[in-house]
């Protein structure tokens, strides 16, 4: 799932506490007791714990190298899905009679040939500055942009306006020497680029980050441009701003930059996986219920390996220390309490080492994000393929690529569908459905499930989802908090269902939410709650059956978005 979360601390604090705090609640899966490896067994028509483990331990294995879209690992992951579909006998619905729909990705890497000039002084890429990997079609031009001091990144009380940032190279400070992804609503999104002041020299870590390729859709003449994030030395910042940043007021204008950032580009094949189960009713089989997940993840850790076990232990504690489910601003007392909790994070490394030796890890396996969704959709496909009674409408299974790059695979699919777009009556999207226990998030339990978007286009689809849930042997406690208009997480716009919704196709998005291992090397199959995930698969199976059997399409009774517009929850 493409959602922002606090990055791991630069250094871990290792002080004595027990490991018992990591235990899952009674009745839930015990992730710490699951094996590091699991030998796959033949799968069945039922959606079972063993089937899900057999699939996920393969799909989220280290050999997949984190399945980043545009890399061989992602191609290997999609080949696994296609081979499973072939065994099930589902009809290929990709390009030229295959299960694959090619998506025109490129890799983009900051070039060592880049140099910039400020008042005749030459500054060299990888020595004086670096440009970090970014999402988006095209970097904004820098040539002729004036520098402007933006103060400390994240300080909303002393921030630039959008007009002050527009078209300029904004220089900011940060206690960590780097910044996270700039929110879409930030005035800094109007800048030509944003440069954070680092150390006197580009560190090995910064050079490694700059050398890491980013992957995106091939650009066209009308592709949008985005500001690039840079790291620059204090000397370059002072030359650009005309003075030491510590002495300048926010909004101080500096000198102009001559030159542009240079990036090397190359083709980077990636693909969606698409299959069809034909419907049994000749009158309705030309319509489709789409079921989807994303197969990609974020690949290798650019900053290098970390100790897996200590990171996993501290991730859970940090998430509880920082989680703010309501999204409302914290009071000063809450902020003080948060700082106290963060300073108290402690992990007993000696206890861990008695269990097993240190494990250095640099692979973001993506077991929950979204290996859990991927294999659950495979299990649903198998249940339908091997079931005695087929649904009335046809089923369209799509495993999207490039979700982590900005929902690019689903955007490409729905803009270039392999079935008529208006024949898709609904889309069910599942992303991160492998956790959700009380050990993962404060509101969690073995019956926890978040729903997003289920009534945003069709009240009927939302009502039907609740009816089907109540019919389950153990109904879920449905959490709609993240579906609220204006919620700061903006989740409705942040997973693949939205690309269907922007064309007026009713959607249901299911997730068990974020946890401390999100986008970390610690998101591995051994920490998944398989009983919880199996019940979600059974719920998806039941809901799909009900929607596919309706006498009419789910009624769209809400305003449809502009397909070319910007999503806002």
Tell me the C-alpha distance between 148 and 167, whole Å.
Answer: 10
Can you name the CATH fold of 112-261?
Answer: Glucose Oxidase; domain 1 (3.50.30)
Q: What are the boundaries of each domain within the chain?
A: 37-105+269-304+362-548, 112-261
Q: Where is average pLDDT lowest: 59-68, 210-219, 305-314?
A: 305-314
The model's pLDDT over 11-29, given as tens digits with 9 standing for 90+, comes to: 333 322 222 222 333 333 3
Q: Lowest mean pLDDT: which of 226-240, 348-362, 537-551?
A: 348-362
CATH 3.40.630.10 applies to domain 37-105+269-304+362-548: yes
Q: What is the pLDDT of residues 472-487, one digit of tens each?
A: 999 999 999 999 999 9
pTM for this one? 0.86
271, containing H or E segment = strand 270-277
Average pLDDT over residues 314-321: 67
Q: What is the structure's pLDDT at 344?
A: 53
Task: Output the pLDDT for position 136.
Answer: 72
191: left (phi over 0), alpha (psi -120 to 50) or beta: beta
Q: Are 469 and 546 in contact (CB under 8 A)?
A: no
Q: Poorest-confidence range of 223-232, 332-341, 374-383, 502-511? A: 332-341
Q: pLDDT of 429-464, one tens digit each?
A: 999 999 999 888 888 999 999 999 999 999 999 999
Residue 349: what pLDDT? 65
For residues 496 and 339, which has the higher predicted lDDT (pLDDT)? 496
pLDDT at 80 over 50: yes
pLDDT at 218: 87
| Helices 49-59/373-386 angle, 10° precision | 130
pLDDT of residue 90: 98
Tens digits of residue pLDDT in 155-186: 888 999 999 999 999 999 998 888 877 887 89
Q: How confident is the model at residue 32 (pLDDT cuts 50, 70, 90)?
A: low
Q: For residue 303, what are the CA distances in angstroms to 207, 233, 319, 392? A: 10, 19, 21, 50
Sorted by sequence, the CB contacts under 8 Å of residue 458 that are 6+ apart come out as 426, 506, 554, 555, 556, 557, 558
- The torsion angles phi and psi of 467, rounded to 5 degrees, stand at -60, -45
* Count of CB atoms situated within 10 Å of the CB of 470: 10
Q: What Cα–Cα distance (Å) separates residue 345 from each residue in 32, 142, 314, 353? A: 20, 42, 7, 19
What is the average per-residue pLDDT within 292-302? Answer: 95
pLDDT of residue 358: 81
- For 126, the token pair is 């990888």
What is the rounded distance in angstroms from the CA atom of residue 537 to the CA atom of residue 49? 10
Which tokens belong to 254? 């500096």
Query: What mean pLDDT value characterizes the chain?
Result: 89
Please, which pLDDT band fits residue 322 given cuts at 50, 70 and 90? low
236, 241, 245, 247: CA torsion to nearest 10: 140
Q: What is the pLDDT of residue 321?
A: 54
Which one has a higher pLDDT value, 275 or 8? 275
The encoded tokens of residue 145 equal: 């942009």
């Amino acid at each position: 799932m493409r959602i922002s979360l606090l990055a791991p601390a630069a250094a871990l604090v290792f002080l004595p506490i027990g490991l018992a705090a990591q235990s899952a609640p009674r009745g839930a899966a015990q992730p710490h007791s699951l094996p590091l490896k699991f030998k796959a067994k033949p799968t069945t028509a039922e959606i079972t714990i063993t089937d899900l483990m057999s699939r996920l331990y393969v799909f989220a294995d280290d050999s997949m190298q984190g399945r980043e879209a545009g890399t061989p690992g992602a191609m290997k992951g999609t080949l696994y899905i296609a081979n499973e579909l072939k065994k099930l006998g589902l009809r290929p619905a990709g390009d030229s009679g295959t299960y694959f729909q090619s998506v025109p990705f490129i890799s983009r890497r900051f070039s060592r040939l880049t140099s910039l000039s400020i008042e005749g002084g030459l500054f060299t890429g990888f020595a004086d500055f670096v440009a970090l990997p970014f999402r988006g079609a095209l970097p904004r031009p820098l040539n002729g942009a004036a520098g402007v001091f933006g103060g400390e990144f994240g300080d909303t009380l002393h921030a630039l306006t959008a007009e002050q940032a527009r078209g300029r190279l904004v220089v900011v400070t940060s206690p960590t020497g780097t910044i996270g992804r700039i929110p879409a609503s930030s005035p800094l999104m109007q800048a030509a680029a944003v440069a954070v002041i680092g150390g006197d020299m580009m560190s090995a870590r910064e050079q490694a980050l700059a050398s890491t390729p980013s992957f995106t859709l091939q650009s066209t003449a009308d592709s949008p441009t985005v500001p690039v994030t840079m790291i620059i030395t204090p000397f370059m910042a002072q030359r650009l701003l005309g003075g030491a940043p510590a002495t300048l007021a926010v909004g101080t204008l500096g000198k102009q930059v001559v030159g542009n950032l240079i990036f090397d580009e190359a083709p980077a094949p990636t693909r969606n996986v698409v299959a069809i189960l034909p419907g049994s009713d000749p009158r309705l089989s030309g319509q489709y219920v789409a079921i989807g997940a994303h197969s990609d993840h974020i690949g290798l850790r650019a900053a290098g390996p970390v100790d897996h076990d200590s990171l996993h232990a501290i991730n859970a504690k940090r998430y509880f220390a920082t989680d703010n489910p309501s999204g409302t601003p914290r009071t000063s007392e809450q902020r003080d309490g948060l700082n106290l909790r963060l300073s108290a994070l402690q992990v007993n490394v000696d206890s861990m080492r008695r269990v097993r030796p240190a494990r250095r890890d640099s692979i973001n396996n993506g077991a929950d994000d979204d290996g859990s969704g991927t294999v659950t959709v495979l299990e649903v496909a198998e249940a339908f393929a091997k079931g005695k009674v087929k649904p009335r409408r046809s089923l369209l299974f799509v495993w999207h690529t490039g979700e982590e790059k900005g929902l690019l695979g689903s955007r490409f699919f729905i803009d270039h569908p392999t079935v008529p777009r208006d024949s898709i009556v609904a889309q069910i999207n599942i992303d991160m459905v492998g956790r959700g226990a009380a050990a993962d998030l404060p509101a969690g339990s073995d019956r926890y499930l978040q729903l997003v978007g289920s009534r945003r286009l069709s009240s009927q689809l939302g009502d039907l989802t609740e009816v089907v849930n109540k019919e389950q042997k153990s109904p879920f406690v449905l959490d709609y908090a993240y579906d609220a208009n204006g919620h700061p997480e903006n989740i409705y716009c942040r997973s693949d269902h939205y690309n269907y919704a922007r064309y007026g196709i009713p959607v249901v998005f299911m997730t068990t939410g974020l946890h401390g291992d999100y986008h970390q090397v610690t998101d591995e199959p051994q920490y998944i709650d398989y009983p919880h995930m199996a019940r979600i698969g059974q719920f998806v199976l039941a809901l799909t059956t009900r929607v596919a059997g309706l006498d009419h399409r789910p009624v769209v009774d809400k305003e449809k978005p502009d397909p070319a517009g910007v999503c806002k929850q």
